[in-house]
Structure 1
Amino acid sequence: MSFRAIWVLSYEKGEAAKLRFSRRYPSVERRAKLLSGPQYVAIPEDCTICRLIFTELGLEDPDRLYVAMRDDCELHQESHILALHPDGCRGTLWPFLTVTQGGVIMVCLPLVDSSAYSQSRLSSQVSISQGIAFLSGLQAFLSAGNKRHEPDILVSRLDLLPLILFHICPLGTPVDTPHSAIFPFLAVSTPSSSQKQPAWKAGTHKGRSTVSVSVTETVRSMQYGNHSKQDLWDVYGTVMCKCEVEGTQPNITVTLSLPPNGSPLQDILAHPCVSTLDTSTLTASSMDYGDASAFSGPYKFPFSPPLEPFRLCSYTSQVPVPPVLGSYQLKEDHGQLQLGVVLKLHESVTNSFEYCEAHLPFFNRCQMGTLDVKVTSGQVEVSKEKNLLVWVLGQKFPKSREVTLEGAVHFSGQTVGPTDPLCTDGTAYVKLYFRIPDLTLSGCCVDQHSVQVYSSTKPRVVTSRDLMSSEYYIWNSTGHTPMLPGAMMM
């Protein structure tokens, strides 16, 4: 929901009504023109808008008790919603939302579909209720919680209104911020600054300064256990930041570092707030196989952060081996399935998981009946639907870094389980789910001391990194296995 324009009007008995504030949003107006097409009606001058609104509300020309365009009995009046007819225009300008309290009228013109006026009641539109709630919040701010608007308070609050709208309604679109929480914060006088506030940064941080940087790498894998098919895997990472630092445009530099034998970062995409990047950083691509000249860091990202958490950058990395190597063998024998799974944790990977599970789904079959399975580590659970084995490996592999599952499953249930046209006959897989804290396969990390913050206060810097799985499959080596079109990393 966005606003084409916002007005604040006031009136007193015996005095002419006045326009106290107006704000228009050209970018939203352009969207309204594209959305309405030939039915578009431009917003006239403020003086014309005020006259039309006051006439519609019966505050102007009190001697005219009947106005046809307002009082005709064929019109369907909507509470708080006005439709205006500018002079010289064939169309109708609508829906004007109004909230009146203590002699002050808040008015806004939201952006809506031009067909909504004739197709349904406007009061049922979501943007209408949101607009009314927004105006009610502004009224509460202008009145300072009083039923009547005190003249001195009203003048001071109207002076702050441009700043208020800059924070809660940048570029005409309200942000999801409770008005009751933001108004007292904004009512405090802000020190003058020679720096210009960026249009994309709605506000400044007040309070304790903290900079949090987290590196998360995700590994995907397709392992076949077949010499005729190459195992595939790839790694992609994201660097998330949350910077609560005082100042209009604080400057921060985050440096990503790699160990001497770390895999160079490639396909780097940075957030628009990053000011400069080295050319070698931007040109490193995973399409250049075997490029020995790939830049291996350190990677510096200078930026002026937004207030909300954001993704500083994303990247890919070609790592030599996946973290968990596995094999899966499944054979059907006299109506039951013989299972054999071996998982081995690579020696370069930390043996400390936040969680680690192996899921063995069975498609196109009835429910599982008897189960005779033995594991060297962890425990096996059966899903409620009885078509999935969950091997919970816990937080550590044994010292040998290898675990096995062996046994047999018999299907005797009457209810048919889920179907999958791909996993028929011997086509089956094990899917791994795991998360390893304080580890990345590429070795990428952010040292707390490498985070530079140019601000009036020294912030607390918090860094973290972790590795997690996504689409990590180990296919049955004794059955037909699908091959992906296009290669992942080897």
Structure 2
Amino acid sequence: MSFRAIWVWSHEKGETVRLRFSRRYSTVEHRAKVLSGSQYVAVPDDCVLLQHIFSKLGLEDPDRLYVASRDDCVLHQESLILELNPDGPGRGKLWPLLTLTHGALIMACLCLIDSPASSQPPLSNQVSVCQGIALLSDLQAFLSAGSKTPDHDTLVSRLDLLPSVFSHICPLGTPVDTPHTTMFPLLAVATTSGSQKQPAWKSGFHKGKSTVSVSVTETVRSMQYGSHSKQDLWDVYGNVICKCEVEGVQPSITVTLSLPPNGSPLQDILAHPCVNALDTSTLTSSSMDYGDGSTFSGPYKFPFSPPLEPFRVCSYTSQVPVPPILGTYHLNEDLGQVQLNVLLKLHESVTNSFEYCEAHLPFFNRCQMGSLDVKVTSGQVEVSKEKNLLVWVLGQKFPKSREVMLEGAINFSGQTAGPTDPLCTDGTAYVKLYFRIPDLTLSGCCVDQHSVQVYSSTKPRVVTSRDLVSSEYYIWNSTGHTPMLPSTLMM
């Protein structure tokens, strides 16, 4: 679904033909060369190509009503789709070349067909042909400004805007998946860009209210065994996501990450390529440098010129002293009945306010649950529809004691076998925690909205947020055999 090249010519009666716009995409042309192999035909110069198009369209030598290479009844003609042989008959072809004429304007685009040049697949199967016809139709509507014969000044002004418009709707030769009616507001946006050059990696401009949103999300993983002979493991990694809706071609923005005085320094920092002038001390801190007391503790400044879409400014890791929730799990089985005891403790440094918090207790290699007698000190217990999973919904707060407990017994007497797992056999079982805590990071990392610096023609609204989420957060049965994970694999 790409184009090798796009052209716009004007052809007024009594005047010479003028090339008004030409855009060739070298990356798409390289793909065409690889696909075609020895049958590759390069796109000729604009003047040579124009002669072939004029001959095919009957605009050259208008006194000649019949041209065999064009009008022979043996040929299969498509109204908008041309096949050109710039090197002569039987010496390769350029196909499909889409053309559209409107008044004095001639618009054309050469589509890329993702198949060998020796085959000519049905056009109905080619998405790029449909996209090309739609593109030329919308281009015609854009240049004509809604009238059959636009005035000269309007046409000239819109032709001048085509480089910036195509940078938005067709970056690098592939049209974006947005309605082409966005070309009209782009007209007003592009005129405000002045003489500042648009970078090739940025597909367009933003027009409207300016907003900068920065979110810090930390993810915590944990393996807890409840045994003195096995060391509990946990790690934390964070992502800083930014969405910048700011006017201008290359607005400059600086996001600063700060830590509290006792916060864990950020390590293993990876920054987005658009981040420039980054302090080298920010990148040198590594979690593999054990015992290194010279870790840089911020503030961490990230200056950049943002793309239009949301992107990850940076990622990092942090060595926090304790996980947010500590737990123990005891499971024993006797004569088909399973005795359960789960204790969860919320650490005192963690905010007691969850968006959600659930503990899942799966049971593998057993029949379905029959009768169960389970009590909890907080929340409620649900059984999955398949009757092989116990879901403990803890809600949005722990009690004041910051401790919750589940205990009881379960009989497995169903007629249908549950899911199997070669790892969780006999007493090997686990509790998996799912939670999200808003306005909290374990490292203490945050972005103050007043520290976000924006150098633009308009003053944007700055929105910041942070949260902590769990991932692969396991509490293993301390009375069974549990798998051990090397601490180096947690990072």
* Fold match by TM threshold 0.5: yes
Partner of 1:173: 174
318-327 vs 102-111, which moves further: 102-111
Contact 1:357–1:433 (CA<8 Å) still a contact in 2? yes
Distance 2:321 2:190 in 1: 57
Partner of 1:25: 25
1:58-457 equivalences under 5 Å are: 58-62=58-62, 63=64, 65-68=66-69, 71=72, 73=74, 77-78=77-78, 80-88=80-88, 90-102=91-103, 104-115=105-116, 118=119, 120-147=121-148, 153-187=154-188, 190-191=191-192, 193=194, 195-457=196-458
Report how far residue 25 of structure 1 moved. 1.8
Secondary structure of 1:32's counterpart equals helix
Contact 2:8–2:105 (CA<8 Å) still a contact in 1? yes
Deviations 1:60-86 (A, max 9, x none): 34525353477463x555553322211
Counterpart residue type for residue 371 of structure 2 = T
Report how far residue 272 of structure 1 moved. 1.4
Distance 2:342 2:248 in 1: 56
Partner of 1:6: 6
The change in CA–CA distance for 1:67 and 1:61 in structure 2 (over 3 A counts) is farther
Contact 1:325–1:344 (CA<8 Å) still a contact in 2? yes
Q: How many residues align?
A: 489
Contact 2:439–2:465 (CA<8 Å) still a contact in 1? yes
Distance 1:259 1:385 in 2: 46
360-369 vs 75-84, which moves further: 75-84
366-375 vs 344-353, which moves further: 366-375
Secondary structure of 2:191's counterpart equals coil
Deviations 1:424-457 (A, max 9, x none): 2222211111000010000101112211222333
Deviations 1:313-344 (A, max 9, x none): 11000111111111112222212222221111
Secondary structure of 2:450's counterpart equals helix
Counterpart residue type for residue 288 of structure 1 = D
Report how far residue 87 of structure 1 moved. 2.2
Contact 2:233–2:487 (CA<8 Å) still a contact in 1? no
Distance 1:331 1:80 in 2: 75
Report how far residue 219 of structure 1 moved. 0.5
Report how far residue 371 of structure 1 moved. 2.0
Distance 1:210 1:25 in 2: 33
Counterpart residue type for residue 171 of structure 2 = P
Report how far residue 38 of structure 1 moved. 2.2
Secondary structure of 2:234's counterpart equals strand
Secondary structure of 2:119's counterpart equals helix
Distance 1:357 1:137 in 2: 51
Secondary structure of 1:127's counterpart equals helix
Counterpart residue type for residue 42 of structure 2 = A
TM-score normalized with structure 1 length: 0.92
Contact 2:3–2:128 (CA<8 Å) still a contact in 1? no
Counterpart residue type for residue 250 of structure 2 = Q
The change in CA–CA distance for 1:383 and 1:133 in structure 2 (over 3 A counts) is farther
TM-score normalized with structure 2 length: 0.92
Report how far residue 295 of structure 1 moved. 0.6
Partner of 2:46: 46
Counterpart residue type for residue 83 of structure 2 = A
Distance 1:259 1:431 in 2: 30
The change in CA–CA distance for 1:388 and 1:210 in structure 2 (over 3 A counts) is same
Secondary structure of 1:487's counterpart equals helix
The change in CA–CA distance for 1:135 and 1:410 in structure 2 (over 3 A counts) is farther
257-266 vs 34-43, which moves further: 34-43
Q: Percent identity?
A: 80
The change in CA–CA distance for 1:328 and 1:99 in structure 2 (over 3 A counts) is farther
Distance 1:388 1:440 in 2: 30
379-388 vs 389-398, which moves further: 379-388
The change in CA–CA distance for 1:71 and 1:387 in structure 2 (over 3 A counts) is farther
Secondary structure of 2:109's counterpart equals strand
Deviations 1:151-210 (A, max 9, x none): 554333222222211222223232233221332332466246454322222333333322
247-256 vs 78-87, which moves further: 78-87
Counterpart residue type for residue 293 of structure 2 = A
Report how far residue 113 of structure 1 moved. 2.0
Contact 1:371–1:408 (CA<8 Å) still a contact in 2? yes
Where does structure 1 differ by over 6 angstroms across 4 or more consecutive aligned residues? Answer: 12-17
Distance 1:262 1:188 in 2: 44
Secondary structure of 2:37's counterpart equals helix
Q: Could you tell me which runs of 5 or more consecutive residues in structure 1 were left unpaired when the two chains were aligned.
A: none
Report how far residue 149 of structure 1 moved. 5.4
- CA RMSD, aligned part only? 2.5
Contact 2:211–2:245 (CA<8 Å) still a contact in 1? yes
Counterpart residue type for residue 397 of structure 1 = F
The change in CA–CA distance for 1:53 and 1:411 in structure 2 (over 3 A counts) is farther
240-249 vs 58-67, which moves further: 58-67
Contact 1:19–1:50 (CA<8 Å) still a contact in 2? no
Contact 1:98–1:108 (CA<8 Å) still a contact in 2? yes
The change in CA–CA distance for 1:230 and 1:149 in structure 2 (over 3 A counts) is same
Partner of 2:467: 466
Distance 2:421 2:61 in 1: 74
Distance 2:346 2:20 in 1: 70
Secondary structure of 1:199's counterpart equals coil
The change in CA–CA distance for 1:119 and 1:328 in structure 2 (over 3 A counts) is farther
Distance 2:78 2:341 in 1: 70
Distance 1:188 1:125 in 2: 33
